[in-house]
Chain A
Amino acid sequence: MKRVFWFRRLHKWLALVAGIQVSIWAFSGLYMTVVDLDIIHGDHLVKKQESLPIDPLLLVTISPVLMESIIPVQSIELKNYFGSAVYEIRAHKKNRVIVDAYTGELKTEVNEQQVRGNVAMVYAGTAEIISIEKLRLYPGEIGGKKLPVWRVVFGDSVASTLYFHHISGKLISKRTHLWRVFDKLWTLHIMDYFRSKGHQGYLFRFFSISSLLLAIFGSGLLFYRLRGEVK
């Protein structure tokens, strides 16, 4: 059979196999390029971070007794979360201890009042808070860690959500529907349908190689057509 017949046939059948995935790549790619990444990240939701307005005269050094209880200490960070000065001590295995830098005492959990105060300081939008609650675990959209977290949802059109640390009250994450859509589309784009490590690669390879063949046979057809005749 003539070569061009084969090209036509293969192009047609490959389009049947890979067409839907190519369309998914096209639509998800368009969304991801059109919506600005900073907006996806929700950077517009929060005010710029201030430098440390901590009073050096009130600063307390961490007591040796406390230091000995957190062996081994990897680093000590002096931070300012919304006007409260804290030391964040990083220990082994991602353990963290948060100490009030003015009293030297271990920080206890923030309450709703304090979270509201933190929202007022950090939130740059104008929408009302429609819910504020303490969750027992991180929800999936911020990584599902087994730690409590404060979630604040705003009444805007993209359901903007801010997450705050349960002890320090620090802003942990920002999510909007724009992010949630992006996340879903990303999964579709890299064909990570089963959210599993090993297998997704084969699926992706199968479809990307099919589309390469689709494109190659398509180019062949284009070539014959532009030449205007069949050999």
Chain B
Amino acid sequence: MRIVSQLKRLHKWIAILIGIQLLLWVVSGIVFSFIEHREVGGNFIFKNNKNDQITDAADFSGVLKQYPQSTQITQITLLKENFFKIELREQTLLQETETGRLVTITKELVREIAIKSYGGKGQLKDIVLVNQRSDENRGMKLPVWQVVFEDSYGTHLYLSSTSAEYQGVRTDSWRIFDFFMMLHFMDYGDRGNFNNGLIIFFSLVLVLFSISGMLLVTSSFSQRDFSQLLYRFIDNQHVKLRILNVEGKLQKIKVSKDTRLLEALESNNIELPSVCGGGGICGTCRIRIVKGRALSAAALSDHDLLEEQDLTKGYRLACQLSVHHPMDIEIEKEY
């Protein structure tokens, strides 16, 4: 039965394999819980000044005849004028209702719309027609109008170059959020996709990691770990131990009840060798119980790391043993 050691080995190897991503998941999760979600969205920076009121319904038959392949036609107002917004599969166009003329979205028009809707405390700094794909304009149809504001949020407003429609707001908070989203979703390709093979693989491994971890929690806690806390804080009880080293030197010590022997010795300045820090993995903290009730019980890790005949001779791992009754203990190394 080497289940516990196998689990520990599995846990260690998975930690090596996905440790970095695990840290990235946790750190990005913390970022998501602290970031100002209002600033990520950025909509509050713009006034929701709804379109002006439409008084007369336009005649849709002309525009419908012209664009039978459109998926939707909407009459809207923009800066007090009436327009048809024509949604085609590939793009959205703007047409004057009166004349049927297609509207070109000029820089001046963009400026007028941007200034009218901006509600922040900064200045409009620049208007650029962007042709280059970037993280900020992911998912928007290019070219797209980018309006840069000089304010504390680092606001960029995006408007469609064919219909002047709102495409999105990007702020510094959004940029941070987006960066950590990329890390969280391991989404280093086209972006916006969390069904990629890489993250599926890592999630699967994480599931194994958490299962092995939970099993290790159940196997590495003994009831006495909890009573030990009680004894320590409420009702300090002690157990007497007699320690013999190989040279025959005898030392009597008093330790808090239910602490692990390894730690109890440690606090009495008796340092046993320990590579794993009490993990029940390395087997270096071996001691022998000469006399005492603990002789009857051996932990799972004892069975994993010690030979059966040694167990019957009284050898145990000091890190797995909780001190409950007085004992005589023999240690191999000098101290």
Nearest CB of B to A3, in Å:
8
A12: Cβ under 8 A from any B Cβ: yes
B194:A74 contact, CB within 8 angstroms:
no
Given A16-B217, A19-B217, A37-B195: A74 in contact with B54 (beta carbons within 8 A): yes
B57:A1 contact, CB within 8 angstroms:
no
Residue among A19, A35, A57 with the most chain B CB within 10 A?
A19
Given A34-B200, A208-B30: A75 in contact with B75 (beta carbons within 8 A): yes
Interface residues of B, count at CB 8 A: 67
Contact residue among A25, A78, A222 (Cβ-Cβ distance under 8 Å from B73):
A78
B65: Cβ under 8 A from any A Cβ: yes
Contact residue among A34, A61, A205, A230 (Cβ-Cβ distance under 8 Å from B34):
A205
Binds A, one of B139-147, B170-178, B204-212, B293-301: B204-212
User: How many residue pairs at the A-B interface have CB separations less than 8 Å?
Assistant: 195
Given A61-B58, A62-B57: A33 in contact with B203 (beta carbons within 8 A): yes
Residue of A nearest to B198 (CB): A33
A61:B277 contact, CB within 8 angstroms:
no
Given A12-B221, A52-B73, A76-B57: A26 in contact with B277 (beta carbons within 8 A): no
Nearest CB of B to A179, in Å:
15
B64:A52 contact, CB within 8 angstroms:
yes
Contact residue among B16, B29, B59, B266 (Cβ-Cβ distance under 8 Å from A222):
B16
A222:B277 contact, CB within 8 angstroms:
no
- Complex interface bits, B9-26 against A, C-beta within 8 A gives 1, otherwise 0: 000100110010011011
The B-contacting residues of A in range 55-84, CB under 8 angstroms, are: 56-57, 59, 61-64, 67, 71-79
A46: Cβ under 8 A from any B Cβ: no
Residue of B nearest to A17 (CB): B217
CA gap between A220 and B217 in the complex, in Å: 18
CA gap between A200 and B60 in the complex, in Å: 49
B203:A51 contact, CB within 8 angstroms:
no
* Interface contacts beyond A2-B277, A56-B61, A56-B64: sample of 7 additional A-B pairs, CB < 8 Å, sorted by A: A23-B207, A51-B69, A75-B74, A78-B73, A209-B30, A212-B27, A219-B23
- Top 9 A-B pairs ranked by shortest CB distance? A4-B277, A62-B57, A72-B53, A23-B210, A30-B203, A56-B61, A76-B75, A8-B277, A26-B210
Chain B positions within 8 Å of A, measured between CB atoms, are 12, 15-16, 19, 22-23, 25-27, 29-30, 33-34, 50-51, 53-62, 64-65, 68-76, 89, 194-196, 199-200, 203-204, 206-207, 209-211, 213-214, 216-217, 220-221, 262-263, 266-267, 273-279, 281
